[in-house]
Structure 1
């Protein structure tokens, strides 16, 4: 992708964030044709949004190539986020890790063991899902990647230092929306080994956006799938032994 085309898309996405009017297809609109194109646009947008507070990383299966996006808005639970600040509202229950020391860019990849040694806490999280894209762009993989994989922010619960005691594959989870349980089970993250994701992210973020930094949070994909919600919704995620996290979206 030409640099001017990447800049054009980045500027349109930034305007969509400001106006809360989604970017729609247009005859003269360039399109990302690869993950490399999408990440180039992602970097341009992120550079205008300030400090990276967190990251999202996920994969569709234990063997699939992960995808990543920076997160600029992190809120402590219980969070109150006015619905007017979003175009479309969704939630995902996730397990997040806090980075305890810098993992900067370097020539060789970070190993799973090195990344695990850099983690200092685990916490329950709700990823807020939003989009700056109108249909059909909001369903196209490379466009979604330009739009931070539809991230609208992250809400985190209290951290636990004994993070190795939490098994993501068997972690009980319950999602409650407006007082009703809508999802319940154990594990549920299709990526499997979450340390594989974090190690991949450390290498990718190191090349592209300055590495992983002490205090940043890494959220690792949904345990409950994506649930779209309406303005006014109250969301609670209960993860036995790990904690709980909640967010409200008042009208």
Structure 2
């Protein structure tokens, strides 16, 4: 009776859900720069939530610069150039083209972090990478539980690399993207990890990255990391079952 159910994602807060829905409407072009949002009462009715929830969602979007409030007039969609934060909309995970773009961004950032880490890493940080790789290797084979361990060990390996870059912005940006990927596609990632031939190939890719960082070869670390993430992106996009346009 094992492996019947998939991992349950932690539900998001209602204001975050409302903010994401409004962002999706902006991404689709249903709402454009300069358009006025419906009133709090109208949004409350449309979403079926209390006005306080809508008010908090609007506050989140105001803080990010997505929405601008005009006293006594209403809330309006801001120009894209005035936005102050980078948000990943759930719509990114609904279409293959959007997902591929996000994965390409993650690949570039992680590859650059690996190149810097090869030059900056300490022996202690290298040991943390080695420990994560050992957990990955020890979990080879097995079912869903072992695959979960491999997924988490892989994340720990590349997080240790980002931390070794001595650049907190690499760390924060990569964690943000990976958190969104796991929130939306963890079951797909785990299923990929359960395929034995993929696991062997991935382990070899990780080993290449580790050796390059151990040898303080920044360009080789960049190339090896990029190669792994490009392969991982292809596997993830191919198996996600999302729209193709």
Structure with max Cα Rg: 2
Of structures 1 and 2, the one with the larger relative CO (CA 8 A, separation 6+) is 1
Same fold (TM over 0.5): no
TM-score by length of 1: 0.23
TM-score by length of 2: 0.23
Whichever structure has more helix as a proportion of its residues is: 2
